Amino acid sequence: MPIILEGVTKTFGSVRAVVSASATFEDARVTVIVGANGSGKTTLLHMIGGLARPTLGRIERGPHGATLEELRAHLGWVGHDTMCYGDLSGMENVALAARLRGVDEPSARERAKTHFALAAFGDRAVRFMSRGQRQRVALARALVHEPSLVLLDEPTTGLDASGVETLVEVVKRERDRRATLVVVTHDAAFATRVADATFKMDRGRLAPQK
């Protein structure tokens, strides 16, 4: 699902969080957005994903302009909070997401084990997991329905070296599946490995990096 931003601005009172952002995020590409804390990266991601509306400007999602309802059916999102159910196991979280999305549950469980390395800890309640383990569960859950738009906000948070390697493989697999991926990260090494295009945000302004 390609995304087109045209002059997108978001204000909160007198604060301009995003200022006249224009860009195109294409299918089968990983676009990485870097920038300091408070530069507007997460606010921009929220607008792309339909959690916030622009104050000014336009966001077109998909070639025919998907509605927010249509967007939600094709969106995979991992934010700062993993939003996993703490009293459920990792596999139960994945299975629940599969049922809600109409995805075959046994297949979803198997993919979680093989693609996200959940076999070793997936039967543990999420509240007893490390931050990195919860992040893997969140990724498996968010991608269970093979979304055409994937938004990742600091996805390497809490991941050890092995977890980062798994994440790199996941991102590349989603790109090969021709999903549109927009990734916010402070991890320069990770960004270098996965980015097809890189943008920098500085005080709400978005600009491509060469």
Report, as an integer, the average pLDDT of 54-67: 88
Residue 62 has pLDDT above 90, yes or no: no
pLDDT of residue 28: 96
Report, as an integer, the average pLDDT of 70-77: 91
- Domain end (from 146, 177, 193): 146
Q: Both 205 and 109 in a single domain? A: no
pLDDT of residue 183: 97
CATH number at 2 reads 3.40.50.300
Residue 111 belongs to domain spanning? 82-146
Residue found under tokens 């070639």: 63
Give residue 82's pLDDT band: very low, low, confident or very high (50, 70, 90): confident
| Dihedral in degrees, nearest 10, Cα atoms 23, 6, 156, 37 | 110
Q: Both 46 and 88 in a single domain? A: no
Q: Both 62 and 9 in a single domain? A: yes
pLDDT, one tens digit per residue, over 177-206 is 999 999 999 899 999 999 999 999 999 999
- On whether the pTM is more than 0.85, the answer is yes
pLDDT of residue 109: 94
- Domain end (from 146, 162, 186): 146
Q: Both 109 and 58 in a single domain? A: no
- Burial class of residue 10 in the structure, from the number of CB atoms within 10 Å of its CB (0-12 exposed, 13-18 middle, 19+ buried): buried
Residue 55 C-alpha from the chain's centroid: 23
- How many distinct structural domains can be found in the chain? 2
Q: Both 68 and 159 in a single domain? A: yes
Residue 45 has pLDDT above 80, yes or no: yes
